[in-house]
Structure 1
Amino acid sequence: MGNGLDLEQDVAALTAQLVDVRSVSREEGELADLVEAALAALPHLRVDRDGHAVVARTGLGRAERVVLAGHLDTVPIADNLPSRLDADGVLWGCGTSDMKAGVAVQLKLAAGLPAPNRDLTFVFYDAEEIAAEFNGLKRLADRHPDWLAGDFAVLMEPTDGRVDGGCQGTLRVQVRTTGRRAHSARSWLGENAIHKAAPILARLAAYEPRRVEIDGLVYPEGLNAVLIEGGHAGNVIPDSCAVTVNYRFAPDQSEDEALERVRGVFDGFEVVLTDSAPGALPGLSQPAAAAFVEAIGTPPAAKEAWTDVARFSALGVPAVNYGPGDPTLAHTREEHVRTAAVREAERKLRQWLTA
């Protein structure tokens, strides 16, 4: 990697070069250095850096500005480096799908579009795969929101070449019960807090999740127990129990509204919020978004997960997810990407930004 990134090579070859630079979360420094150096050599871009995040922007005075964003980090390597290209045009390796293929597309567009039809901001950030407190896009939004300003954003997360609009919100609560501890041989002297959790599970089983349509996309919700904690020993009646419930909610609700809905489901129980993140509206009615969907040429869908598009939405920037990788391969030992899909993503985005 001593010669730096070659932004003139084919996008699939560039993907392989990026994959072969180890960049596990919080170890992105080498790759961030290479990205910064490659972009700084392009005279049509202004390049800024914060930690292991690099932002490059055109300044052409166009009527619209589009942000293309992708993270540099990967999950821990699972004996799947260096990359390997097979005879069928499939590139294997850690980060191929999630999401160095998307990053390669960003870099090719940054180098090859000195005069696009819209001003462009390219964001390459760190620590997406770990706790939100370390997330580089969150840090940029807090420290440099002006760097992320735009009329529309595309997060190059893997979507298998489909436009996924917005994202679900997510929150977790603990629904708690209390009892009285006693020896299990004399259980009638105690109150079993785990038994008291039965109505919580019953309400979850009876709950009918909403399906919410926004901009023609349907967001299915989910309310599920994901963890139960309680008990002290094999001969003790437990005096406390907590059921952790995860609510994946449609982006028509704020975090506060979603929390109130959950509190209503568990009325009469102690409900303690442990973490939450807002959803993001798809914004497909925006002219830039509509043009993007038309350029990609496939029906959009709702993002059935939480992604960093929510951070753009919080800044007032409508955003979608679009990338060449298959999301079902993310984080797997068998992670790979079809090189034809990477080239197709570059072609479609280039056409959208030059038509």
Structure 2
Amino acid sequence: MSSSVAELTRELVAIPSHDDETAAGDAIERWLREETTAHVTRDAVGNVLARKRADGSPRDEPAPRDESDDRRSLAFVGHHDVVSPADSQIRDAPEPGEYVVEERDGRIYGRGAADMKGAVAAAMVAFREATPAERADLVFASFVGEEVGGVGARHAIEEGFLPDYAVVGEGSTNYSSPGVTDVVVAHRGRRGVTVTAHGVASHASEPEAGENAIYRAAEAVERVRDLEFPSVEVAGETLAGSVAVTEIDGGSAINVVPDRCSFTVDERTVPGERADLEILADVPGLEWTVDQDLPPMQCDDDAFAEATLEAARESQSGKPELVTKPHATDAGWLSQAGTECVIVGPSEPGEAHTRDESVSIAVLERCRETYRTIAESWPA
């Protein structure tokens, strides 16, 4: 496997990883073992992890830490799973099943180019190039299962993965202005809830003999509709949450009063705040379950955020800013566990998960340089 960011991106993007991330993880692990002297591991779910330090610890000797050690760790974090490709993104020949990868007009096209194998490649090259700051460990992590709720990140955290700081390579380009790669210091989370109303069935000719579950659900829907959305102020921006009823299902026949009706609620959460679903507690016959709860993220270490912003400034001619992001990433799981996180990455709004997904080669190089610079200067 080659070593430049563009070539490494093309090679990673070509590897299918929507149903099974194993081959992509194999390629990342092999590259790290061949190109670096880091200690490289692969955990039980397929996450690829590597660690190195300024004193050149060999790959078969992980950097030790204990409670009395004042070393700090900085991690580059990404994921190598992708969403399912469009038919046009899958190669028929000569390698059936591989993803189609094209390069034109300074961009690399293919499933996962933006989200987020390009950023993974930039982080890998920066990890190879950087000499960590004194008394700092530099960590690389590429997780599985980000697209399905952070499976890999949660497993790694449960197994003790907890860097002090992390730069997560999700998209932060074109947020404050076109052509600029910003530093994200907060993002929203997502809570998905299923609300079920129970009633008593009866013949529709005698509705008073039953308890109509749809009516109970309708009362609950109206209360959700009237909820106030929480918001917080971060980096001079208002990061606002939202709540929406997105699905409803109930009834079995035109002549039967239903005994069951359910609906789903999509809530976009913000750091430290939640919509008050307890307003449903006194609706009779109602219960709800949380189907998904992806945590929000906020960086509380201003010095780390500013140091990363300075590294981003040095890597580009534009003027990057501290910004917020509207959707959840693995940074939320790390932040919830205690890691101070920022997000810096090449993907642009509206680029991921599309039929013509692509990433700018120039911005990949910009991110590589930003990652290398922060790795060599932080912790200060």
In the aligned structure 2, how far is the partner of 1:172 from the partner of 1:23?
26
Corresponding position: 1:199 with 2:216: no
1:76 to 39, 62, 84: 84
Are the equivalent residues in 1 in contact too, given 2:132–2:375 (CA < 8 A)?
no
Matches within 5 A, 1:114-133: 114-115=131-132, 118-132=136-150
Corresponding position: 1:36 with 2:53: no
In the aligned structure 2, how far is the partner of 1:178 from the partner of 1:334?
45
In the aligned structure 2, how far is the partner of 1:284 from the partner of 1:218?
16
In the aligned structure 2, how far is the partner of 1:75 from the partner of 1:84?
18
- Aligned-residue offset at 1:130: 2.2
Moved more, 223-232 or 56-65: 56-65
How has the CA–CA distance of structure 1 residues 91 and 168 changed in structure 2, closer, same or farther, with 3 Å as cutoff?
same
**Equivalence for 1:107:** 124
Q: Which amino acid aligns with 1:47?
A: V
Corresponding position: 1:263 with 2:304: no
Matches within 5 A, 1:46-85: 46-51=39-44, 52-60=46-54, 64-78=72-86, 79-80=88-89, 81-85=99-103
Per the alignment, in what secondary structure is the counterpart of residue 328 of structure 1?
coil
Per the alignment, in what secondary structure is the counterpart of residue 213 of structure 2?
coil
Per the alignment, in what secondary structure is the counterpart of residue 77 of structure 2?
strand
Moved more, 32-41 or 294-303: 294-303
TM-score, normalising length: structure 1: 0.86
Give the superposed CA RMSD.
2.4
**Equivalence for 1:155:** 168
Are the equivalent residues in 2 in contact too, given 1:167–1:279 (CA < 8 A)?
no
TM-score, normalising length: structure 2: 0.80
In the aligned structure 1, how far is the partner of 2:85 from the partner of 2:193?
32
Structure 2: give runs of 5+ residues left out of the alignment: 56-69, 90-98, 174-180, 314-319
In the aligned structure 1, how far is the partner of 2:192 from the partner of 2:23?
35
Are the equivalent residues in 1 in contact too, given 2:14–2:100 (CA < 8 A)?
yes
Deviation per CA, 1:255-285, whole angstroms, max 9, x where unpaired?
Answer: xxx47x2113654353423234363442243
Deviation per CA, 1:298-339, whole angstroms, max 9, x where unpaired?
Answer: 222223222211221232111122210124222221211122
Deviation per CA, 1:40-98, whole angstroms, max 9, x where unpaired?
Answer: 12454111111421111112379542111111111122121320111x11211110110
In the aligned structure 2, how far is the partner of 1:353 from the partner of 1:174?
43
In the aligned structure 2, how far is the partner of 1:91 from the partner of 1:278?
30
Per the alignment, in what secondary structure is the counterpart of residue 48 of structure 2?
strand
In the aligned structure 1, how far is the partner of 2:74 from the partner of 2:24?
24
How has the CA–CA distance of structure 1 residues 286 and 58 changed in structure 2, closer, same or farther, with 3 Å as cutoff?
farther
Matches within 5 A, 1:214-253: 214=234, 216-253=236-273
Q: Which amino acid aligns with 2:162?
A: A
1:12 to 3, 6, 16: 6
Per the alignment, in what secondary structure is the counterpart of residue 264 of structure 2?
strand
In the aligned structure 2, how far is the partner of 1:306 from the partner of 1:191?
39
In the aligned structure 2, how far is the partner of 1:265 from the partner of 1:212?
24
Are the equivalent residues in 2 in contact too, given 1:152–1:289 (CA < 8 A)?
no
Deviation per CA, 1:331-353, whole angstroms, max 9, x where unpaired?
Answer: 22121112222122122222333
In the aligned structure 2, how far is the partner of 1:12 from the partner of 1:305?
27
- Aligned-residue offset at 1:28: 1.8
Are the equivalent residues in 2 in contact too, given 1:98–1:327 (CA < 8 A)?
no
Paired residues, number:
337
In the aligned structure 1, how far is the partner of 2:360 from the partner of 2:157?
33
Per the alignment, in what secondary structure is the counterpart of residue 196 of structure 2?
strand
Identical counterparts, % of pairs: 28
Are the equivalent residues in 1 in contact too, given 2:220–2:283 (CA < 8 A)?
no
Q: Which amino acid aligns with 2:147?
A: E
In the aligned structure 2, how far is the partner of 1:277 from the partner of 1:239?
28
Moved more, 212-221 or 241-250: 212-221
- Aligned-residue offset at 1:153: 0.7
How has the CA–CA distance of structure 1 residues 299 and 265 changed in structure 2, closer, same or farther, with 3 Å as cutoff?
farther
Corresponding position: 1:332 with 2:326: no
